[in-house]
Amino acid sequence: MASTAPFSRFEWMIAWRYLRARRAEGGVSVMTWISLIGITLAVAALIITLAVRTGFREEFVDTILGANAHVTVYARTHFDAAGNPVSTIADYDDWAARIAAVPGVVRAAPLVKGQVMANAGSRNAGVQVFGIRPDDLAAIPRIAAPETALGDLADFPKGIAIGSGVARELGVSLGDRIKLISPNGVKTAFGTTPRVNAYEVVYVFSAGRWDIDQTRVYLPFAQAQAFFNREGRADEIEVMVEHPEEIDGYLPKILKALGGEAAVWTWRDSAGAFLRALDMEDNVMFVILSVLVLIASMNIISGLVMLVKNKGRDIGILRTMGLTEGAVLRVFFLVGASTGLIGTLAGVVLGVLFATYIDPIFALVDALAGGGVWDPSVRGIYRLPATVRLADVASAVSLSLALSFLVTLLPARRAARLNPVEALRYE
């Protein structure tokens, strides 16, 4: 008998007949469905986890880069004429101009910073004050976003801008006045008197990060200098660059522009430990869910072993008719591989749909649980984000198909090696 090409039409026909056979005909439809559902759920879980992992990381990094300096430049501590240590920047405009001239630097803005107590009526909150110029504040993406803010940034020179968490804590809104209380006030013969100033709330922002919205307040630069006794000085220079992910390449140029008079602190220095923890957690979760996909794929073996046992007589007849071992192997490989392929495709559809509509799904879960499922004070951001990337879907599909095809080979090989004489002896 002339040999036929691998995976020819009749091999597909036999495999399809076995795949859809009813139990009364010697089929194993129940095991096939169990394998199919298991692989579908495992692949969907892997894609959803990868999408949430990617979305969480992107959202977290975006809130860092969109509301904080990419590089913070400080003056090295030195001593003044009286021998007192000084770490503020006197010629801050010159520093900002020199840093802004570095290729790739988008903005360099002098800041005055301090921690004070904010008060409104009987409510108090600890806040961090950023003294900044109006134009520089308007250039911070997450702060100046009009869709998440109340008020107009054009009014910033007339008052104060506060985070939504601060407004909620103090119970204030636009047009209300809050007091800032600093223990480092005016020095008198009787000691230091706390400084208390009142400001009108003209802008309420939401940066998308709970810790920022809960503690951050912006004051006009000149007023912050007066409030913190920084006349003619700044505490630091806030630097934004074109490509924050490549921040290490900017540092030598910035330090060279300042002649070695400064020290720097990058966004990676402040968030690097957390991002490394996320990477480690991502790898662990991928391994765990890969084991889940493997377990689901192992169900294919059970189904194929039962199918081979039930179809022993058919295999013997096919072999006596001239079907080769390779053809039998391919028939049963197609049965198992088809289960893995269909389950993987269904898992991709389910996983992508779940990740795409994760907001309404999570809102439903939160409502059923009575609220409080997602605590932004613990997780930092206000929602569970999900971003489906082609690379993540491809990795999930590749893993599932590779495992499904691999576990199919053993029972398919067993079927191919079945002795036709033994299979037909008692028939």
HEC sequence for 63-104: HHHHHCCCEEEEECCEECCCCCEECCECCHHHHHHHHHCCCC
Q: Phi/psi of residue 120, each to 5°? A: -145, 110
Residue 22: pLDDT over 50: yes
State pLDDT tens for residues 345-404: 999 999 999 999 988 888 887 777 776 666 666 566 777 788 899 998 999 999 989 888
Residues 6+ apart with CB under 8 A from 328: 315, 318, 319, 412, 415, 416, 418
State residue 26's pLDDT score: 44
Q: Give CA–CA dist 190/29, Å, rounded.
A: 90
State residue 417's pLDDT score: 66
328 versus 213: the higher-pLDDT residue is 213
Split at pLDDT 50, 70, 90, the class of 316 is low
420 versus 362: the higher-pLDDT residue is 362
Tokens of 319: 């072999």
Split at pLDDT 50, 70, 90, the class of 425 is low
Residues 6+ apart with CB under 8 A from 43: 293, 343, 344, 346, 347, 348, 350, 351, 396, 397, 400
State residue 34's pLDDT score: 80
Of the chain, the percentage scoring pLDDT greater than 70 comes to 78
Are the C-beta atoms of residues 178 and 118 closer than 8 Å to each other? yes
Residue 414: pLDDT over 60: yes
Average pLDDT (191-205) is 86
- 3-class secondary structure, 370: coil
State residue 1's pLDDT score: 44
339 versus 204: the higher-pLDDT residue is 204
- Nearest to 112, CA basis, from 226, 238, 195, 225: 225
What is the pairing mode between strands 191-205 and 177-188?
antiparallel
Split at pLDDT 50, 70, 90, the class of 113 is very high
What is the pairing mode between strands 160-163 and 191-205?
parallel
Q: What is the mean pLDDT of the chain?
A: 82
Average pLDDT (5-9) is 64
- Where exactly are the structural domains of the chain? 9-62+274-424, 77-260
State residue 24's pLDDT score: 46
Average pLDDT (206-231) is 90
State residue 300's pLDDT score: 78
State residue 323's pLDDT score: 67
Q: Phi/psi of residue 221, each to 5°? A: -55, -50
For the CA atoms of 44, 45, 49, 52, the dihedral, rounded to the nearest 10 degrees, stands at: 60
- Nearest to 75, CA basis, from 253, 267, 233, 272: 233
316 versus 409: the higher-pLDDT residue is 409
Judged by average pLDDT, the poorest of 15-19, 89-93, 240-244, 294-298 is 15-19
Residue 75: pLDDT over 90: no
Average pLDDT (38-65) is 87
Average pLDDT (109-127) is 92
Are the C-beta atoms of residues 227 and 180 closer than 8 Å to each other? yes
Average pLDDT (168-194) is 80
Split at pLDDT 50, 70, 90, the class of 216 is very high
